[in-house]
Amino acid sequence: MYIWVDLWDKRCWVAIQIEWVVIPKWVYPRVDIVSELKKIQKDYHMTHIVVWLPYDLYNIDHHQLKKTQKFIEKLKDIFPDTQIIGHDERLSSFEAQRVSQSISKTKQKRDDIAAAIILESYLSSHL
């Protein structure tokens, strides 16, 4: 089972892979993400956590990237039997916006779709 995490300062988006389907699943407050991942681990027996690496298109702002890389290292300590993977998602938001225009105009739906797109991107390039 693969879990995808989009880490932000206030909220985190999570998508999961069930069989061969990627489902945008939850939005959690940032302060709760580790405890929620522990619950997901218990309920779904995840084998991989794929974490969004927020590279910017121009390689200028690395603040969020550094925070995310520290988070990945923390997850490796917390989940030693789970493979923790960073994955570049640079263009997923643009793709999600394109897809979501036909579904919904809300940012929440775009973020959910972006979560699914990134996990599908990772899975298709690594499986």
15-29 burial, b at 16+ Cβ within 10 Å, e below that, comes to bbbeeeebebbbebe
Per residue in 72-116, pLDDT tens? 999 999 999 999 999 876 655 555 555 555 555 555 556 666 666
Two tokens at 108?
């929440």
- Check: CB of residue 25 under 8 Å from CB of residue 16: yes
The Cα–Cα gap between 49 and 82 comes to 7
- Give the pLDDT of residue 77: 96
- Give the pLDDT of residue 74: 96
Domain boundaries, the chain: 2-126
Per residue in 22-80, pLDDT tens? 777 788 999 999 999 999 988 888 899 999 888 776 666 678 889 999 999 999 999 99
- Give the pLDDT of residue 118: 66
| Domain over 2-126 is classified CATH 3.30.420.140 | yes
Who's near 60: CB < 8 A, 6+ residues apart?
A: none
- Check: CB of residue 68 under 8 Å from CB of residue 21: no
- Give the pLDDT of residue 29: 95
